């Protein structure tokens, strides 16, 4: 699995919102400037995060975006699945039940299922608060 630019930028945007969680609504302009991501690109990411109920939005001169839950209650899995869709390592695992006609006799499927479960367990175990708590003192990170 490879995380796309949309997934990486959605994650960075959510980290920025987590950093400013107690400050009210944050404008895309401010996030864009801090994260060096174009405002236009952030506008394209917002609908994915809204559909997953991860954000609140507010219009007007004090408008912007805010996390819908505390940073300690939003997992990396939620963010990446919101932006990327399925995180399954192979396309046949996108459907439940698996619709592949070779599913029953596939010798590789258990390997991919184990990989997928390990990845989901890992991503479910990391919240935005965990990311903030691990942040290097230099405030620099690469996602």
pLDDT digits (tens, 9 = 90+) for 4-62: 999 999 999 999 999 999 998 999 999 999 999 999 999 999 999 999 999 999 988 88
Structural domain includes residue 109: no
Q: Of how many residues is the chain composed? A: 143
Range of the domain at 18: 5-85+127-133
Alpha helices (H) in the chain, listed in sequence order: 5-19, 28-35, 39-51, 76-84, 109-124, 128-133
**Which residues does 53 contact at the CB level (< 8 Å), separation at least 6?**
68
* In a domain? residue 29: yes
114 is a domain residue? no
Q: Tell me, yes or no, whether 39 lies in a domain.
A: yes
CA–CA distance, 68 with 7 (Å, rounded to integer): 18
Q: 67: left (phi > 0), else alpha (psi -120 to 50), else beta? A: beta
At residue 82, the pLDDT reads 96
Residue 63: the pLDDT is 86
Using CA atoms, how far apart are residues 69 and 121, in angstroms rounded to an integer?
A: 21
**CA dihedral in degrees (100, 86, 4, 117; nearest 10)?**
-90
Q: Give a yes or no: residue 67 inside a domain.
A: yes
What pLDDT does 91 receive?
Answer: 85
Q: Please give the pLDDT value at position 101.
A: 84
- At 104-142, the pLDDT tens digits run 888 999 999 999 999 999 999 999 999 999 855 544 444
Which pairs with CB-CB distance under 8 Å and at least 24 residues apart come from 95-100?
none
Residue 103 lies in a domain: no
The pLDDT of residue 140: 46
Q: Is 68 inside any structural domain?
A: yes
CA 17 to CA 26: how far, in whole Å?
A: 7
Measure CA of the first residue to CA of the last residue in the chain; give whole Å.
Answer: 15
State the total domains in the chain: 1
Is 93 contained in some domain?
no
Q: What is the pLDDT at residue 2?
A: 85
CATH of the domain at 30: 1.10.10.10
Q: What is the pLDDT of residues 73-98, one digit of tens each?
A: 999 999 999 999 889 888 888 878 88
């Amino acid at each position: 699995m490879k995380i796309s630019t949309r997934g990486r930028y959605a994650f960075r945007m959510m980290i920025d919102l987590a950093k400013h969680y107690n400050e009210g609504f944050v404008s895309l302009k401010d996030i864009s400037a801090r994260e060096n991501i174009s405002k236009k690109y952030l506008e394209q990411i917002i609908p994915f995060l809204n559909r997953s109920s991860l954000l609140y939005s507010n219009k007007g001169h004090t408008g912007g975006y805010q996390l819908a839950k505390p940073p300690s209650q939003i997992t990396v899995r939620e963010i990446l699945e919101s932006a990327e869709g399925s995180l399954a390592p192979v396309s046949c695992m996108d459907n439940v039940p698996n619709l592949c006609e070779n599913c029953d006799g596939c010798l590789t499927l258990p390997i991919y299922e184990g990989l997928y479960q390990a990845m989901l367990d890992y991503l479910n175990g990391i919240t935005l608060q965990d990311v903030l708590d691990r942040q290097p003192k230099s405030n620099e990170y690469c996602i």
